[in-house]
A and B are shown apart, each in its own frame.
Chain A
Amino acid sequence: MSAVDAGAALPRQKIDIAPAFAPLVIALIAAPLIGSSSTFITLTVAGLAMGLMLFTMASGLTLVFGLMDVLNFGHGAFISVGAYVATLVFLPLAGWSQADSLMPNLGVIALAILASAAACGALGLVFERLLVRPVYRQHLKQILVTMGGLIVAEQLLYALFGPQTIPLPLPTALRGAFVVGDAAIEKFRVLAMAIGLIVFIGEAVILNYTKLGLLIRAGVENREMVEALGYRINRLFIGVFMAGSALAGLGGVLWGLYREQVHASMGGDLMVLVFIVVIIGGLGSVGGCLIGATLVALVANYAGFLAPKFALVSNIVLMVVVLLWRPRGLYPAGGR
């Protein structure tokens, strides 16, 4: 055996950390333009909270695309359904929600998250079986069919809940803000950040330290070989699709509480942002998705304060800039 292949040193593996610092760079650029440190802190925390909510919604979509090669434009339906399920949980538990104590407040949110994730996971199973499975490997049909699914879901929500916006008020103890110096940090945003981070850490642990995660990462790279090793990738597809749908539902609960209202088209409206996050992050990459979501949210918040008119196009501009820098996104997975 040649010396090289018997074990000469491998070329040093480059650790690509530049994209991970992109949100920090954006914050450093924005800080002097904003001027006031308290405003900067408030905007940054709001951006991070929004970013982690977007990440929660988008991470499922990026895994579904990475593993299944499915362009699911219907992902927004799960966001809306998740938010509506939350209203159904909050309604009978109004006592918990309006209590002054934190524990019942957190309890009702935890129940809403569990119910939404369960409902959206189950709906994801039906959606995959009925709509997605017949159009595997047919991208154009996937776009048409899943867009159709989103429209049908929205219309069903209108039919069931009516066309009006439904309020989803924050539980009492989560209203208001923590005041740190001159900066006001909304309590709910801290909770949203904590939940988003828990989702990210959970996904990172599963993907990197479990055999299931290995299978998902391997499937993102080469589905055929995973099957040739003896694993039924269709079951993995369904599991990932259900998990992605459940995460979208969870994101829908957080977004509904953040806006304190729910309407049937909220998921569809968010899909533009979610797709920008997934594309910027690199298709199939959970880490890239987190960086992408943080970037999108920070830019939206800073632009909204500094140049409100520019805020309308800030995310499109951000996407163009990122893709000029990294045409395959910040951290593309599986060599796609």
Chain B
Amino acid sequence: MSALLSLQGVHTHIGRYHILQGVDFDAAEGKTTMLLGRNGAGKTTTLRTIMGLWRASAGAIALAGEPINALPTPAIARAGIAYVPESMAIFSDLTVRENLVLAARDGPMDDKRLQWIFGFFPALKKFWLSRAGALSGGQKQMLSIARAIVEPRRLLLIDEPTKGLAPAIIGALIDCLKEIKRAGVTILLVEQNFRVAQEVGDDVRVMDNGRIVHQGAMAELAADVPLQNHLLGLALGAHQ
């Protein structure tokens, strides 16, 4: 399967810190690629650099062969990339409906697609006109993901969606991610929870110190416990 997203030799500096130090990887179209690694390895920075929220100081980022690293963030989003940040970044003063209206930038929301979203996030239907700031943490995460899929996008960048959520909600989120995957959407997912990674990931990229240190199939890494311990160490143990 061809690569939808490709990073080659990407470096990112934040102030005087050299965070990404030559990141190279591809994300195959229609697959879910997991981006794993210890805290501070550069996973969030990678997603933010792809979105143009932090500028790559060197290297190339391409979406379906088209370079995007010189584009401003709105143009990158309009090229078909949706971003779900770790903080969720929902607009808490706006209602659930208003959050989704903004995300549907190409026009009115498609009712069929909305019903599809309500199928796995029923709370969003119930609290349609409620202030997003009043939602629980899990519901906010659902809204954040719903915002990314309210219109078809080519690539979803999702940063630690299960962080701080109760196990039951994580289960629902896994079901949702599998459903999105079935719809043929390409996902690049940063995750610390190895169980989630195992369940939804097709491919895996492991980062350490701002570089990719392992690439392969998720199933292979899941089956190789010594390799997991070597690559992910304490981070893995803490979340398994």
Chain A residues with a Cβ under 8 A of chain B = 1-2, 4-7, 10-11, 13, 211, 214-215, 217-218, 220-222, 224-233, 333-335
Contact = CB atoms under 8 A, between A and B. Distances in A.
B142 interface: yes
Among the interface residues A215, A225, A228, A232, which one has the most CB atoms of the partner chain B within 10 A? A228
A214 B94 contact: yes
B123 A230 contact: no
B194 interface: no
B58 interface: no
Contact of B91 (A4, A6, A217, A231): A217
Do most interface residues of chain B lie in helix, strand or loop, or is the interface mixed? helix
B201 to A, nearest CB: 22
B142 A229 contact: no
29 contacts: A1-B122, A1-B123, A2-B168, A2-B169, A5-B169, A6-B122, A6-B123, A7-B122, A7-B123, A7-B125, A7-B126, A13-B134, A211-B101, A214-B101, A217-B91, A218-B94, A218-B102, A222-B89, A227-B73, A228-B51, A228-B89, A229-B77, A229-B102, A230-B77, A230-B78, A232-B72, A233-B74, A333-B93, A335-B133
Among the interface residues A1, A5, A233, which one has the most CB atoms of the partner chain B within 10 A? A5
A221 B99 CA distance: 12
A5 B139 contact: yes
A2 B138 contact: yes
A154 B101 CA distance: 44
A221 B139 contact: no
A13 B101 contact: no
B74 A217 contact: no
A6 B135 CA distance: 11
Contacts of A4: 136, 138
How many of chain B's residues touch chain A, expressed as a range?
35 or more
A230 B147 CA distance: 12
Given A7-B125, A217-B94, A230-B78, 4 more contacts: A2-B172, A7-B123, A224-B89, A232-B74
B85 A5 contact: no
Contact of A230 (B74, B130, B142): B74
Contact of B77 (A211, A227, A335): A227
Contacts of B53: 224, 227-228
A5 B78 CA distance: 31
B127 interface: yes
B236 interface: no
Nearest to A7: B126
Given A5-B139, A218-B94, A11 B102 contact: no
A226 to B, nearest CB: 8
Nearest to B80: A230
A13 B130 contact: yes
A98 to B, nearest CB: 49
Given A5-B123, A214-B98, A221 B92 contact: yes
Nearest to B165: A5
A233 B123 CA distance: 30
Contact of B74 (A7, A11, A231): A231
B181 interface: no
Contacts of B91: 217-218, 221-222, 225
Among the interface residues A11, A13, A218, A335, which one has the most CB atoms of the partner chain B within 10 A? A218
Nearest to A226: B102
Contact of B135 (A2, A10, A226, A229): A10
A254 B127 CA distance: 44
B172 A5 contact: yes
